[in-house]
Amino acid sequence: MPLVLPKCDAPIPERKAHILVKGSAESIIPACNIQTVPGDMTERGCAFAGCRGVVGGPIKDAIQLVHGPIGCAYYTWGTRRNLSDTALHRKYCFSTDLVENDVVFGGAEKLYSSIIESYKLFPEARAVLVYATCVVGLIGDDLEAVCKKAEKEIGIRVIPFWCEGFRGVSQSLGHHIANKALFDYVVGTKELQDPTPYDMNIIGEFNIDGDAWAIKPLFDELGVRVLSIFTGNASFDDLPPMHAAKLNIVQCQRSSTYIAKMIQDKYGTPFINVSLFGIKQTSKALRDVGKFFNLSDKAEEIIKEETAKIKPKIDYYRRRLEGKRVMVYQGAPRAWHWVRLFEELGMEVVVAATTFGHKDDYEKLVAKVKEGTLIIDNPNAPELVEIIAEYKPDLFVSGLKEKYFSYKQGVPFVNGHSYEEGPYAAFSGFVNFARDIDIAVNHPIWKMIRQKPSLYKEI
């Protein structure tokens, strides 16, 4: 019998609304995107993490300047594996390193000097992105004024992000803040010099472990010109002409639908939601885009060719993984993007959870999973530990913080946040995904740790 309220939640009945088992009434979704119960040992992060870490951070040739005390900058330095072909954004960490005196007297001057100095030291930078942390919101530094003044001085764009950690209920609001600032300050500020009828943006693709490099060649081959990837491996200069695209496709529909909608509302550019993971979903995305640009034949050709390339490998892994039960816990979209991938590998999702999913994420998730699947919003550490113990999945897919809960309970794990050895996206990435799952699930250690050797039996 699947559990609904874990035992550990007896003292916090508020959690009941966040946990459900999918029944026949498919419209039911858990309570979500609301304040975490204080002290519930949540896995959530803050708005700063969503803004600096997820959306702004991948812009490869910008000085990523964190305005605040040192910690927030340090912890986002080279952490997320949003790869690029240049090094600035992950190799260097810029901070105004506010100290007590600045908190009392204000940090505006320090911020201004920091922007100027950073640019002088890194004149190759194409923009400066300034992120506000908790304390900056409280002391009320005039970020906009400082950025504007600095912009005049150095002649490149200086963009303020009001992403103090205390905003909102999770990192999700930080995504929105980043979208809004990049839309308001950047998109539409430059016209495209050589527009073509085949210009498209890929939105919500952050090049985790090279995902964008597995995705983009497919569209190149299709005959579509990818103007900008928002924001994986993106140059800052790719962003101003985003409005000139004929179509936007949205991969991460939690963190980045905002900007697709803003572009649609202001410039009339339509957008299509895509799941560029696995054979079926990637094929569908190619078909949808092919249809839009009237390139359907080419799309079918690519699908046929790419599928033929990977099908034998996927079949091999399917034989090794068939029937395995999966617990998947991701930020939000990858939880539902991947349900179909596990199906393609013959695996079954038995527990699905997200850190910061909204209503639309859960609608998509509930629609995709089978009846009887446990769905949890914002699961906390004791719940995860208990659910791993109760469900004993054959595989847990989540992030680094959760990895060791899994290992200590003897459950194979694949890092779905920053990947083991990606990319995991599109056709070629799917093989890596399957391979990493196979490496985890079929490793001999899991049997060994369950066998109690006879020499210790009496102890």
Return the number of the residue (188 or 331) whose C-beta is nearest other proteins.
Answer: 331
* Smallest separation (angstroms) from other proteins to the CB of 268: 34
* Smallest separation (angstroms) from other proteins to the CB of 89: 13
d(CA 328, CA 386): 15
CB 51 within 8 A of CB 175: yes
d(CA 69, CA 319): 52
Q: Is residue 175 annotated as a catalytic residue, yes or no?
A: yes
- Catalytic hit among 49, 73, 125, 214: 49
- Catalytic hit among 52, 175, 176, 243: 175
CA 51 to chain centre: 11
d(CA 137, CA 57): 20
Pairing of strands 374-377, 348-354: parallel
* Smallest separation (angstroms) from other proteins to the CB of 96: 7
Q: Is residue 46 annotated as a catalytic residue, yes or no?
A: yes
**How would DSSP label each residue in 161-180?**
E---TTSSSSTHHHHHHHHH
- Catalytic hit among 52, 67, 80, 167: 80
Q: Is residue 132 annotated as a catalytic residue, yes or no?
A: no
* Smallest separation (angstroms) from other proteins to the CB of 363: 25
With residue 249 as reference, give the H or E element that holds it. Answer: strand 247-250
CB 173 within 8 A of CB 179: no
- Catalytic hit among 46, 47, 62, 181: 46
- Measure CA of the first residue to CA of the last residue in the chain; give whole Å: 34
CB 401 within 8 A of CB 409: no
Angle, to 10 degrees, between the axis of helix 143-154 and the axis of helix 108-121? 30
* Smallest separation (angstroms) from other proteins to the CB of 353: 16
Q: Is residue 73 annotated as a catalytic residue, yes or no?
A: no
Catalytically active residues, by annotation: 46, 49, 80, 175
